[in-house]
Structure 1
Amino acid sequence: MSDHFKVIGVSSAGKELEEVKQDEAIDVVPIEMSRKITPLQDIKSLRNMYKFLKKERPQIVHTHTPKAGIVGMLAARLAGVPHRLHTVAGLPLMEATGVKRKVLDFVEKLTYLSATGVYPNSKGLYDFILQNNYTSKEKLKVIGQGSSNGINTTFFSPDQVNVDQKQLLKKELNIEDSDLVFVFVGRLVGDKGINELVKAFTEMHQEKNLERNSKLLLVGPLETELDPLYPETLREIENNKNIIITGFQKDVRPYFAISDALVFPSYREGFPNVVMQAGAMGLPSIVSDINGCNEIIIEDENGTIVPVKNVEKLQKAMEKILIDSEYYNRLKKNARSMIQSRYEQSVIWNALLNEYKTLLKEK
């Protein structure tokens, strides 16, 4: 977009924002936005965002994430920004109940009311928004076939990681060539299905006399504040020699390259990049039956879909990958081509650019 517009990136301060400034060669502005429900801090964020937008007078404000959405869209409306666009890439409220759910429902409706266009990044989210009457159909649009950003299949390619790199990483992580490696990439929190994943993996080895050993590779930060894992899950991760935790990794390609299948049993998503990345790296996926996941993965073609929070079905899916080599190889053969044909990044970028240009032309 910076080839066509002056782009300014806004988020809370931190090293990630500075990395965006360097990597994307754009201006950035830090405005603090809490990830929790914090009314007083949110009012301060709204005021700061409004002052910034009144000064800059942009033609387009495009927000991502629920908190940036409510702050950015409300501030943009108050500041008179003509094009106020919000991408919906997952809804935390799906797991909320009671008073918290009512508060989040209200915030979501206010965000969409303040926006001139709302872009759910999957067909499932599009349907969910309509079913819950968050906004009118006229405001909604899915860009391309879904996804917020598509996937660069040249960057995410098995060819980008050589044999020496893979062998070195396997040695470092104590993975044998004979091991089948299940990988999860993302935040290690409850609503990503990590409790169920660890239990399914552990019970698979306890209950079965399996001919082939497997490892579970957990790539991502362990978060202990917003949605911590069960104590028994943390103990199992610490004590099970077949479970490997790496922490956050900026480049996840080497970890996909030494793995055989992605397991992604999340409770909710918009359109998960991880599943597209794994597919582009040639990995079949076991995913939960949720928005986005059940659009990227086609049953028995490039992976398999299991019910949310179902340890038994997740375990059986992992066992089939481990035991049935013919089935596994069929899924693996289709994995990369099915991502290339539907979610190549350049297609999504061009569709979004066309959306911007069309809106500006109309005004």
Structure 2
Amino acid sequence: MNIIMFSTDQKMWNMESDVRKRIIGYGKLVDQLHVIIYTQRGVKREKEKIGDNVCIYPTKTRFKISYFFDAYKIGKNIINKNQKNNQWIITTQDPFETGLIGSCIARKYKLPLIIQAHTDFLSLEFKKESLKNRIRVAMARKTIPRASRIRVVSERIKQSIQKKYGIKESAIVVLPIYVDSTKRCDRNEIKKEFGSDIFKVMMASRITKEKNIKLAIDAISLVKGKHSNIRLLIVGDGPERESLERYVEERGLKKNIIFIEWTNNLTPYYCAADALLLTSNYEGYGRTPIEALSLGTPVIMTDVGCAGWIVKHDENGLISPVKNTEVLSGNIRELIENKEQYNRLVNNTKTSIKNLSSKEEFLNQMKALFDFKEATRVDKV
């Protein structure tokens, strides 16, 4: 079995990144894995062999519109040079740009096509965010019906695709990204180190528009009036960080809200925090809530991604509507003021994720995802 994957993830060139390690792991499931990644010309990226049978290829695209042609050409060359290997499968990171390229290659060579969806692209908030996103939804309308199989990372996305496109349940595989839930820490010791008299809420993400971190800042501002001992730790970087730091200063919240540079080791922060906060307008899955729950930290989040599926309201976390400052701030206050409820949520955290796949189970599920006899299209109801 040989795989060609189309992606836009630049982290594959970072030797320490989780995505690179994940791709190397996928390579162990197949004979060859070739990953074609959108890159701009002038950025130092070269074809690299990152595993015994795993290669990553930069497109070195001059203009974004030519990404399609650059990636298509690389994919075609790989297949033509390896014609003896006739069992090829095409997979794409998304149903948008990469989905369009993958569907064209798959159609040309009559190959199975697996389209993956890592974000909730049928969410109203996704479409409202930008013209680019609305164009992407239009692309998905073309690519999704061409797929042989669709892999999604949450039940939420599966249900929205079924409803929108009328695709049979059997054609959609729910397979979240593997999250290591085996890490452990001494929460009491770490809490002492960070200060036990302060209620600490943490966030960990790219600081981008769709993460709506401004909502978190506004909620903390409301909570602070009654609970001046609250702290929000925002671990991350991104294009919105500078403007949000100014916003925090303007609101007089510098004592209560602290920005911290991104780190790959989030365990000490999860263990120090009294709660994890996620305020996204939309999410595919949300790995930070899973990581937090595995370390005994309850979750306060908007109704996106794994909310209602893994994070359950008043069981291991509290869920609020998207963009609703009043409900969100009320949920934070509730955890501060109601110790009995807080302790109950903490006690439920680890049991709520005990059915998640182990690494070995996840890799077996990925292998099954790629198991095809022939190219077909998804069946509709």
Q: Which runs of 5+ in 2 are unaligned?
A: 1-25, 377-381
Counterpart residue type for residue 89 of structure 1: H
Question: What do the CA deviations read for 1:11-62 (whole angstroms, capped 9, x no partner)?
Answer: 34599999x976x66623233488xx94334343333343344445662233
Task: Determine whether 1:221 maps to 2:237.
Answer: yes
1:123 corresponds in structure 2 to 155
> How far apart are 1:316 and its partner, in Å?
0.6
CA contact (8 A) 1:186 1:219 kept: yes
User: Using the alignment, how far apart are the partners of 1:264 and 1:302 within structure 2?
Assistant: 14
The range that moved more, 25-34 or 241-250, is 25-34
> How far apart are 1:150 and its partner, in Å?
2.9
2:21 corresponds in structure 1 to none
2:55 corresponds in structure 1 to 28
**What SS does the corresponding residue of 1:8 show, helix, strand or coil?**
strand
1:279 corresponds in structure 2 to 293
Identity %: 20
2:172 corresponds in structure 1 to 141
**What SS does the corresponding residue of 1:333 show, helix, strand or coil?**
helix
2:7 corresponds in structure 1 to none
1:10-49 equivalent positions in 2, closer than 5 A: 10-12=36-38, 27-32=54-59, 38-49=64-75
1:77 corresponds in structure 2 to 106
Question: What do the CA deviations read for 1:182-202 (whole angstroms, capped 9, x no partner)?
Answer: 111111122112010011012
User: Using the alignment, how far apart are the partners of 2:332 and 2:142 within structure 1?
Assistant: 42
How many aligned positions are there? 340
> How far apart are 1:249 and its partner, in Å?
1.2
Question: What do the CA deviations read for 1:82-119 (whole angstroms, capped 9, x no partner)?
Answer: 22112211145632248655522221122223421112
User: Using the alignment, how far apart are the partners of 1:162 and 1:315 within structure 2?
Assistant: 26
User: Using the alignment, how far apart are the partners of 2:317 and 2:35 within structure 1?
Assistant: 36
1:350 corresponds in structure 2 to 364
CA-based RMSD of the aligned residues comes to 3.6
Return closer, same or farther for 1:114/1:315 CA change in 2, 3 Å cut-off.
same
Of 260, 273, 278 in structure 2, the residue corresponding to residue 264 of structure 1 is 278
The range that moved more, 24-33 or 251-260, is 24-33
Task: Determine whether 1:63 maps to 2:92.
Answer: yes
TM-score, normalization by structure 1 = 0.79
Task: Determine whether 1:177 maps to 2:196.
Answer: yes
1:203 corresponds in structure 2 to 222
Return closer, same or farther for 1:184/1:231 CA change in 2, 3 Å cut-off.
closer
CA contact (8 A) 1:46 1:74 kept: no
Return closer, same or farther for 1:16/1:139 CA change in 2, 3 Å cut-off.
farther
CA contact (8 A) 1:158 1:282 kept: no
Of 199, 210, 214 in structure 2, the residue corresponding to residue 191 of structure 1 is 210
Return closer, same or farther for 1:68/1:243 CA change in 2, 3 Å cut-off.
same
Return closer, same or farther for 1:27/1:345 CA change in 2, 3 Å cut-off.
closer
**What SS does the corresponding residue of 1:223 show, helix, strand or coil?**
coil
